[in-house]
Amino acid sequence: MKMTASLDNTVRNGGKVVVDWMSSRGLDAFFHVPGESFLPVLDALLDTTSVHVVTVRHEAGAAFAAEAYGKLTGRPAVCMGTRGPGASNLSIGVQTAHYDSTPMLVFLGLVPRRLQGAGGFQEIDPVSMFASIAKDVHVVNTAEALVPVLDQALATAIAGRPGPVVVGFPADLLSATVCGTLPQTTATGIVTGEFDPVPLLARLRGARRPAILVATAAVRGPAATALEDLASRTGTPVYCAWRRFSSFDNSHANFAGSLGLGASAEVTGNLAHADLILSFGFGVDQVTCDVAGLGRTDAHVIQFATEADPRLARYLPAGHFEQIVTDPTRAARVLAEAVGDTFSHKHREMPPTAMRPATSSLAARPTTGALRMEHVMSRLNELIPGNAIVTSDAGNFAQWMLRHVKFGQDRVFLGALNGAMGYGLPSGIGASVAMPEPPCWVLAGDGGYAMLEAEMETANRLGQSIVACVFDNGLYGTIRARQEEAFPGRAFGTSTGRIDFAAAARAHGWLGWTVEKEADIDAAVNDVLAAPGCRLVHFLVEKFPLAA
């Protein structure tokens, strides 16, 4: 992260120190719901032009937006809320960043120091509250500790396995006068480990059914280029890990499919045949292991990541996995360059469809008259621009997206690995702050979208260009499907009422369309593509089951 020179010796309050520190450390995005406990921070932000300040409608929206910003750029954004209620609302996005390994800084305004432990209004203990869902938690109680703690928080957020770090500031400290110079610091970079590529390539050469598992950056860059080179040189199929769908070009000849809930049996079955899996990034998680059956004694997994992950021992049998702590981009490049021209893979026993994921027939399933999800997603795959940033909420609809929406060209995918509902729209706002030029498309079910639909006002106020596609079946669809499996004929507590999302969009200054027939999909989306600003398409879809 780029740093600037230290500031001149001056007198400022604690809030201004926090803002000056953000500016000097290159932190340029701040998402918040205002709170009286950090008004000095807001006052200082008024006088800076280096930080983009976004006021949202709900703290969960602030945290989700900051998480998407960090996921898209690799740099942490700041989200901030006030003590008890604000901190509680932020927590869902903090847990998302922790689970998804996304760098993020979470600032909290706390009760004044004299009221700590006295049950002051809205008091919480942030250490107890966030310890299990953040990399670290700090409470700054002295002016002298402000900058050192902030620097430590930033270093922790971006080092090793990235994640969120929480910093709490008592309200009186933010108002207090602080004298002195804001010291300069240096960026904390990735420490790369050395490894010998020769024996690894010998194992890859000797494997009969090898595979590459990718969980690198959503915006394809050096890592994707190096992995494409490695896959092409060695003839190895490549799978994108759970919700890392755009980390490898889906149109590449070696792309074998994306994994996750709802992945096709052909894709998961192919990976289930692998005897050696090279994983780049933090892709070996419970979902990926479960759907691909990686916990087998006839498979060996080698993970290249910036930090050792003790959780692998929970998913993979002892003696059947290795961890090489190194920059995965560098690891892929070193391996590719060491391949040479003599690498042979003619002895491989690859499944016949290993290089190309199967696609479902669109005409095979009869319709009840409502929109079929496979048809909607197939058409959206054709109509969404190839350079779009696609953010996804959690829900049953996403299984159809996994099957039918591809991420080749410059199309980018952002989704929450932890399955947090409400993520779609705020993450679209955060993505548009990070990268304003590419078109941003938000895909969400009615349940998740309704949770934070008030953020439509935020997007409109910011003048963003976002398209939201809401797939409405009047259910919490994933839970209903599981409920019907566990308790047949006893569906209860999983239905919702209908919302006219197109009308709600118009009420927030957006343009809105409703689509009820498959024949009308293309016309509506073409109207969306021709219009500016914030737009929403409300798809009234069937009460679909889990993707088969």
For residues 174 and 28, membership in a common domain is answered with yes
Q: Using CA atoms of 381, 385, 391, 395 in order, give the dihedral in degrees to the nearest 10.
A: -20
The confidence score (pLDDT) of residue 346 equals 60
The confidence score (pLDDT) of residue 185 equals 53
More confident residue, 525 or 10: 525
**Residue at 362 is within a domain:** no
The confidence score (pLDDT) of residue 356 equals 54
Hey, is 36 helix, strand or coil? helix
For residues 163 and 279, membership in a common domain is answered with no
Its domain, for residue 39, covers: 10-180
361 pLDDT exceeds 50? no
For residues 216 and 334, membership in a common domain is answered with yes
Taking CA atoms, 344 is separated from 117, 198, 278, in Å, by: 67, 15, 18
Average pLDDT over residues 539-545: 82
The confidence score (pLDDT) of residue 181 equals 66
248 pLDDT exceeds 70? yes
Burial class (CB in 10 A: 0-12, 13-18, 19+), 368: exposed
Average pLDDT over residues 294-319: 87
Which residues does residue 515 pair with via DSSP β-bridges, in sequence order? 539
310 pLDDT exceeds 90? no
Strands (E), 74-143: 77-82, 104-110, 136-139
For residues 108 and 168, membership in a common domain is answered with yes
For residues 158 and 216, membership in a common domain is answered with no
**Residue at 507 is within a domain:** yes
This prediction's pTM: 0.84
**Residue at 392 is within a domain:** yes
The confidence score (pLDDT) of residue 46 equals 94
**What is the rounded average pLDDT for all residues in the chain?**
89
pLDDT in tens, 325-345: 999 999 999 999 999 766 766
The CATH number covering residue 518 comes to: 3.40.50.970
Average pLDDT over residues 468-485: 90
pLDDT band at 388 (very low <50, low <70, confident <90, very high): very high
Ranked by mean pLDDT, the top range of 226-235, 290-299, 482-491, 502-511 is 502-511
Q: Which residues contact 423 (CB under 8 A, 6 or more apart)?
A: 64, 67, 68, 96, 391, 392, 393, 394, 415, 416, 448
Average pLDDT over residues 252-269: 89
The domain boundary, picked from 278, 313, 339, lies at 339
